[in-house]
Structure formats: structure tokens, C-alpha cells
């Protein structure tokens, strides 16, 4: 059970949660209450740290942010799916075990009947043979039914396992996505980077890492607030999803306003072209006031591109790409630098 507080304690937590809800703009619904209940209860360390970081920046927590926080820290999809898989597999195995036991019992009876028939045939006693033949025929039918039932159970279990595998893949994918942008989160980035470096690139190509950073992002937040800052990050996420498509590459939110692109088995020329396409599309991005359509923010990004050297550690590759990104910042921003 997730919540074990006694009535008196839960009543106090209710009062504290409502007080927190009144300070923010999210609706008074069960999702919002659950978020603040866990926060004031102090039972979810990751959630507490995330909310404290937001409130330290005077960020107002609206419905969208409540949903994102709950997905990240309260209701992780992978845990729910793993529990579903565990219970379903347990049910499947119990069913197959019961059917296998019945089949084994019928096989034992069938073997005994065959032995009796064999004895009757050896004595050439016609009076004994016919009843034994009848018993063997009946046993054959029971055995056939048991084997068919076992086959059906195994086939059904195979289909269910395939369905569960697809469900797990979906949950695993969701657990590695950044809820604000729809690209990979830091965890997903690290897994995909390790998988990429585990394979040798094709002849004449390289595994390429691109690091991107939104220029003057702190100024955007300070001038227009974090909601506009979030729209800038979302806009770059949309550009990355449209420009970097699997299997050619994978985009990720590395942290804050920093993003990454993984390009396995790619030439440096192609990598530079793709990164320049992202830079150009970002420069064309305009964040508008939704009421007046006034342009509030124009966005640029700086980037660094590094090709993996065989045997190089992941952290060293990231460091070289970051150094190239820093060179772009030092060179005036809104540009891409090769490591």
C-alpha cells in the first residue's frame, strides 16, 4: 500500500496539501492533490527535490507541470507495467503447470493400461483382451484431450508473453522520454550512447555526438518567466523530433536547456549538415504572445560536434563535444564547431 498514514496524520497532511495547492495555478483535482500530499508527507525524496528546485526559482506549478512531475516521480509507467507483467506471468505459469500436471497423470494411467493390455495379449485370453482394448482406447482419448489442452495453454501463453513484451517495450520507452519535449531524457541518452559505442561504425563513417545549448536561456527565464522558457524548450524539442529521425539518429534532452544528438555510423559531413539544419530551424523559431501574437522571443542554439575515437570512453567523448560547444559560445553563439 502506497499510503499508510493514520487518520489524524492524513488529516494534517490534507490541510498542508491544500495550503500548497492554493499557492499555485493548477486545478484542484486528484492528480494535483496526490502531488502535494506526497510532497508535504515527505515520503518521496525525488519529488521533494524537484518541487523545491522549482519553488526556489519562484516557478508557478500549473496543470502541465503537475502532470510532468507526477509522470516522473509519482506514477512511473515502468513500475506499473512490471507489476502487471509479474502478475500475468505468474497466472500463466500456474495455468500451464496445472495442465502439465493433468497431462502427466493421464500419461501415467495410459502407461498402466498399456501394460495391462500387453499382459492380456501375452496370455492370449480373449476374455481379458477386449476390456483392456476398450480401456486403452478411452485412455487414448483422454491423453489426446490433455495434450491438446496443454498445447492450447502453451500457445495462449506464447501470445500473452508477446503482448506483455510489447507492453514492456512501450513502458521502457516512456520511462526514457523527457515529458516536456518528447525526446529522450538523460537516462535514455546514456543508454543509447552506450549501445552506440558498443558497435563499431561502418568503414568510412564514425559515431558522432552533437551537444547543443540554447543561447541566453537564463535571460529568457529572467525576462519572460519559466512558462515562456518551457515553451522555448518545447519548441526545440519539436525541431529535434522533426529533424533527427531514427534510425539515422536520436535526440535527447541532456539537462536543462542542453540537448544532445546521437548519430551512429555517420560521416562528419552529414553530421554537420544535420546539425546546421537544426540550428537554422531553431533560428526561425519565434515564441509569441498567444493573445496578441507579438513575438516575445527569438531563439538560437550553439553546438559542438565530436566523432568517437575507437576505444574512447563515453565521458571523454561528451567532454570533447562540450568543449566544441563552449568554443561556439566563445565565438559568438548561434554557430556549430567541430571538435
Active site residues: 257
* CA distances, 49 to each of 44, 45, 56, 319 (Å): 9, 6, 10, 27
* CA distances, 309 to each of 167, 188, 231, 255, 316 (Å): 36, 22, 36, 24, 10
In the numeric block, which cell numbers belong to residue 145? 484431450
- Angstrom distance (rounded) from CA 308 to CA 240: 21
CB atoms within 10 A of CB 250: 22
CA 155, distance to chain mean position in Å, is 29
SS3 state at 185: coil
Residue 245 region by backbone torsions, left for phi larger than 0, else alpha for psi between -120 and 50, else beta: beta
Residues 6 or more apart from 302 whose CB is under 8 A from it? 212, 213, 215, 325, 328, 329, 333, 334, 335, 336
- Angstrom distance (rounded) from CA 251 to CA 211: 10
Q: How far apart are the two ends of the chain, measured CA to CA in Å? A: 52
CA 281, distance to chain mean position in Å, is 28
In the numeric block, which cell numbers belong to residue 264? 551512429
Helix extents (H) in the chain: 7-21, 30-41, 45-56, 63-69, 77-123, 126-175, 186-197, 217-224, 226-243, 268-283, 314-330
The answer to whether 264 touches 278, Cβ cutoff 8 Å, is no
Residue 89: CA count within 13 A, CB half-sphere: 12
Amino acid at each position: 500500500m502506497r499510503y499508510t498514514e493514520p487518520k489524524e496524520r492524513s488529516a494534517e497532511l490534507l490541510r498542508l496539501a491544500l495550503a500548497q495547492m492554493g499557492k499555485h495555478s493548477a486545478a484542484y483535482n486528484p492528480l494535483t492533490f496526490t502531488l502535494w500530499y506526497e510532497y508535504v508527507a515527505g515520503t518521496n525524496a525525488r519529488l521533494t527535490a524537484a518541487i523545491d528546485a522549482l519553488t526556489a526559482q519562484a516557478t508557478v506549478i500549473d496543470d502541465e507541470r503537475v502532470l510532468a512531475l507526477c509522470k516522473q516521480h509519482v506514477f512511473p509507467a515502468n513500475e506499473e507495467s512490471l507489476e502487471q507483467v509479474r502478475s500475468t506471468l505468474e497466472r500463466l505459469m500456474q495455468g500451464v503447470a496445472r495442465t502439465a500436471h493433468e497431462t502427466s497423470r493421464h500419461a501415467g494411467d495410459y502407461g498402466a493400461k498399456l501394460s495391462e493390455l500387453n499382459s492380456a495379449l501375452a496370455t492370449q485370453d480373449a476374455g481379458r483382451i477386449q476390456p483392456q482394448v476398450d480401456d486403452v482406447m478411452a485412455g487414448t482419448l483422454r491423453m489426446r484431450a490433455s495434450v491438446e489442452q496443454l498445447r492450447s495453454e502453451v500457445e495462449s501463453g506464447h501470445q500473452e508473453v508477446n503482448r506483455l513484451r510489447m507492453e514492456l517495450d512501450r513502458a521502457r520507452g516512456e520511462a526514457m522520454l523527457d515529458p516536456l519535449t518528447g525526446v529522450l531524457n538523460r537516462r535514455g541518452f546514456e543508454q543509447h550512447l552506450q549501445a552506440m559505442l558498443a558497435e563499431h561504425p561502418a568503414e568510412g563513417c564514425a559515431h558522432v555526438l552533437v551537444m547543443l545549448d540554447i543561447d541566453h536561456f537564463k535571460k529568457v527565464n529572467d525576462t519572460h518567466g519559466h512558462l515562456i522558457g518551457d515553451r522555448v524548450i518545447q519548441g526545440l524539442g519539436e525541431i529535434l523530433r522533426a529533424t533527427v529521425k531514427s534510425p539515422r539518429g536520436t535526440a535527447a534532452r541532456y539537462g536543462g536547456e542542453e540537448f544532445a544528438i546521437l548519430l551512429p555510423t555517420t560521416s562528419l559531413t552529414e553530421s554537420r549538415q544535420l546539425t546546421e539544419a537544426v540550428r537554422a530551424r531553431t533560428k526561425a523559431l519565434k515564441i509569441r504572445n498567444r493573445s496578441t501574437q507579438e513575438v516575445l522571443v527569438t531563439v538560437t542554439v550553439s553546438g559542438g560536434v565530436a566523432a568517437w575515437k575507437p576505444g574512447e570512453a563515453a565521458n571523454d567523448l561528451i567532454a570533447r563535444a562540450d568543449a566544441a560547444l563552449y568554443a561556439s559560445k566563445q565565438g559568438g553563439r548561434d554557430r556549430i564547431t567541430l571538435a
